[in-house]
Structure 1
Amino acid sequence: MEEIKDSIKESFLAILPVSAVVILLQVLLIDLQWEKFMLFLVGLVMVTFGLMFFLMGVNIGLLPVGEMIGKALPKSQKTWLIISAGLLLGIAVTVAEPDVRVLATQIEEVSEGGITSLILISSVALGVGIFVALAMVRTIYKIPLQYLLLLGYLLVFIIAYLTPDAFVPISFDAGGVTTGPLAVPFILALGVGVASVLREKDSSDEGFGLVALASIGPILAVLLLGVIYQ
């Protein structure tokens, strides 16, 4: 019951600022047609309820399951299984991430089909999956996070010089959309679950480091896609 109350509260707090700004602009500046403004209000109500149910699902089901999987994997004492599970789960949650699909659809429209949504989603998902697997390696072998981040972003800037200019902004947008409302809770819970078994003292830090590392994957994936297209 507490999760439901928190979800409702978070939904209203998330929607309130943008609602207030748009309504204020409508009164003082924009002066949209009444029909269009009513459509905005109807959409606002639908988004509020959709976000409320989405957050309820994340809090009630997604987070606990992610953490349970994270705690169960190390008990197998099979390194390859932990890394493979990180790869597959990273790909799966990215494919399901709504923000990634919005970005892919817009890019397909702007490029007039030159970059299809399927290719972009597949590339981004593979990039996230590989770096979630790398984050599992980091947790298992206690590799300092700053070394992996430094190496990752060094590769990003090197490949950015080799790829067409149009792919550079797309790649960084891809890195942003993968840290969305579906992928982040699950990846965080997975990382915390694995770290709580392997490294009990700093499991929270391990979870946050996993998300930071995973966000590099889609940037590199899209940049490499640009090199291939070139």
Structure 2
Amino acid sequence: MHEWKEIVLEVIQAVIPVIVVVFLLQVFVVSMPTSVFLQFLIGAAMVMAGLVLFLQGVQIGLLPMGEAIGAELPNRGSIFFLVFAAFMLGFVVTVAEPDVRILASQVEFASEGEISKTILITMVALGVAFFVGLAMLRIVLGVPIAYILAAGYAIVLILSFFTPENFVPIAFDAGGVTTGPMTVPFILSLGLGTVSVLGGKSSLSDGFGLVGLASIGPIIAVLLLGVMYG
């Protein structure tokens, strides 16, 4: 019961300021129709209820499962299996990420169907999956994260010169939306679970950084998609 109260309080603290700002804009600036404002209030209430249930689900489901999987994979004794499993998990979690689907829908709408929602989601998921697998390999081999980050963003910089201009902002937004409420808890817990069973590893220096690496993948993937479209 105590956990529920903490989550409810956390959601209220996060959402109420948004409601207050919109209310002030409604009263003093915008003056939207009453029906539209009421729809906003109903939607905000539904968002708060959904966030409470979602965060509770993360606490009792996603985080423990991610840590358990991360702790079990290295025991299989195969680096290839570890990386492949991380790749598959990164892919399916990204496909389920609501933020990714919202971005893909908006891009498809703005491009009038030229950039398919399905193709964009697939490319973003493949980008995340590749770098999640690479991040797990980094943990096992002990490669400094700075080297991979430098190489990744160097590739991003190079690709940005060869892809159409309209794909560049989409690519960076794709990197941002993958750090959403579905992907982040699972990837973080996966990394921490893996580090917990590997000797000589630090939870702080080795367990974190997976989300930062994973966010590079979608940028590169969408830029490559732009090169193909171009």
1:146 aligned to 2:146? yes
Matched with 1:191 is: 191
User: Which ranges of structure 2 fall in alignment gaps of 5 or more residues?
Assistant: none
Q: TM-score, normalised by structure 1?
A: 0.97
Is the CA contact (8 Å cut-off) linking 1:196 and 1:203 kept in structure 2?
A: yes
- Give me the whole-angstrom Cα distance separating, in 1, the residues matched to 2:155 and 2:99: 25
Match of 1:202, SS state, is coil
* Structure 1 residues 172-220: Cα deviation after superposition (integer angstroms, max 9, x where no partner): 0000000001100000000011111115551233232111111100000
Is the CA contact (8 Å cut-off) linking 1:3 and 1:60 kept in structure 2?
A: no
Matched with 1:155 is: 155
More helix by share: 1
- Give me the whole-angstrom Cα distance separating, in 2, the residues matched to 1:200 and 1:142: 10
Match of 2:52, SS state, is helix
* Structure 1 residues 152-173: Cα deviation after superposition (integer angstroms, max 9, x where no partner): 0000000010000000000000
Q: TM-score, normalised by structure 2?
A: 0.97
Match of 1:206, SS state, is coil
Is the CA contact (8 Å cut-off) linking 1:187 and 1:207 kept in structure 2?
A: no
- Give me the whole-angstrom Cα distance separating, in 2, the residues matched to 1:54 and 1:162: 40
Match of 1:205, SS state, is coil
- Output aligned runs, 1:58-137, within 5 Å: 58-137=58-137
Q: Residues 24 and 199 from structure 1, CA distance in 2 versus in 1: closer, same or farther, beyond 3 angstroms?
A: farther
RMSD: 1.1
1:37 aligned to 2:37? yes
Give aligned pairs, total.
Answer: 230
9-18 vs 87-96, which moves further: 9-18
Moved over 3 A (4+): none
Match of 2:137, SS state, is helix
Is the CA contact (8 Å cut-off) linking 1:95 and 1:125 kept in structure 2?
A: yes
Q: Percent identity?
A: 55
- Give me the whole-angstrom Cα distance separating, in 1, the residues matched to 2:107 and 2:90: 22
